[in-house]
């Protein structure tokens, strides 16, 4: 009985150490990617959606939009794909983004809408379809810094050639969002392994 208990204790300790190592490594990876990411000249800018409040961009979405406006204004890309579906009775995230972008001086002809997505992966999959239709080959992804690594992984898994122009985040929010991203990356990686056993986009790739 004692031997069995000792075995289980060692298993629990080993699991704890594995989880601790994973979260430590991924926290470093998430923060390293965020701090070293920057957009390069591309065919389009993809803005990953965020919440809409009372028909207007939430603070988080507004931060992403402001970065996209700066990137567009600096000539980083000639087109913007506003990617985000509809939740409840609110207008779609994409339509809300379009209105905000136009208020900031982005011409309507430069804005493309992707209004069906409900997750980051769908953002990228549906935006990729628009890119293929328009003949675009490269993209700058605009999202928050803590989200840059997972967005890059997903884009790479789809074959999208991309860079990330990240939104800076407040230090007080960093720990929470970093841990949440670590969990999200773990889920994405496990799903990838199940769907494609020899997938090339494990987090060390």
Asked if pLDDT for residue 196 goes beyond 60, the answer is no
At 200, the pLDDT band (50, 70, 90 cuts) reads very low
For residue 202, what pLDDT is reported?
40
| 50-76: pLDDT as tens digits | 999 989 999 999 999 999 999 999 999
Q: Higher pLDDT residue, 88 or 100?
A: 100
DSSP reduced 3-state for 104: coil
Structure tokens at 58: 């939430």
Asked if pLDDT for residue 172 goes beyond 60, the answer is no
Question: For the chain, how far is it from start to end, CA to CA, in angstroms?
Answer: 43
Say which residues have a Cβ less than 8 Å from residue 79's Cβ, sequence separation at least 6: 43, 44, 45, 110, 111, 112, 134, 136
In 55-194, beta strands by DSSP E: 56-57, 80-83, 111-114, 138-144, 161-167
26: left (phi over 0), alpha (psi -120 to 50) or beta: alpha
Cα 164 to Cα 172: distance, rounded to the nearest angstrom: 22
At 199, the pLDDT band (50, 70, 90 cuts) reads very low
Asked if pLDDT for residue 201 goes beyond 50, the answer is no
Average pLDDT over residues 161-190: 73
Structure tokens at 194: 């199940």
For the chain, which residues make up each domain, given as ranges?
A: 33-195
Say which residues have a Cβ less than 8 Å from residue 168's Cβ, sequence separation at least 6: 145
Q: Higher pLDDT residue, 87 or 196?
A: 87
Among 145-149, 171-175, 198-202, the range scoring the smallest mean pLDDT is 198-202
For residue 4, what pLDDT is reported?
73
Q: pLDDT averaged over the chain?
A: 84
What is 33-195's CATH number? 3.40.50.620
Instruction: Please report, rounded to a whole number, the percentage of residues in the chain having pLDDT higher than 70.
Output: 81
Q: Which pTM was predicted?
A: 0.77
Cα 149 to Cα 145: distance, rounded to the nearest angstrom: 8
Average pLDDT over residues 197-201: 43
Among 40-54, 82-96, 98-112, the range scoring the smallest mean pLDDT is 82-96
């Amino acid at each position: 009985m004692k031997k069995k208990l000792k075995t289980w204790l060692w298993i629990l300790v080993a699991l704890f150490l594995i989880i601790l190592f994973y979260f430590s490594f991924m926290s470093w990876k998430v923060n390293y990617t965020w701090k070293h990411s920057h957009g390069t000249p591309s065919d389009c800018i993809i803005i990953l959606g965020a919440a809409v409040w009372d028909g207007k961009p939430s603070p988080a979405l507004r931060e992403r939009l402001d970065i996209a406006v700066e990137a567009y204004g600096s000539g980083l890309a000639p087109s913007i794909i506003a990617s985000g579906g509809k939740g409840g009775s609110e207008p779609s995230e994409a339509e809300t983004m379009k209105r905000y972008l136009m208020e900031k001086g982005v011409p309507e002809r430069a804005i493309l809408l992707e209004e069906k997505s409900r997750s980051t992966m769908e953002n990228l999959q549906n935006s990729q379809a628009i890119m293929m239709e328009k003949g675009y080959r490269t993209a700058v992804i605009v999202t928050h810094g803590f989200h840059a690594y997972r967005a890059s992984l997903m884009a790479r898994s789809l074959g999208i050639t991309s860079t990330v122009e990240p939104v800076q985040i407040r230090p007080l929010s960093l720990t929470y969002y970093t841990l949440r991203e670590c969990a999200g990356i773990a889920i994405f990686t496990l799903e990838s392994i199940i769907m494609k056993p020899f997938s090339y986009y494990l987090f060390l790739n």
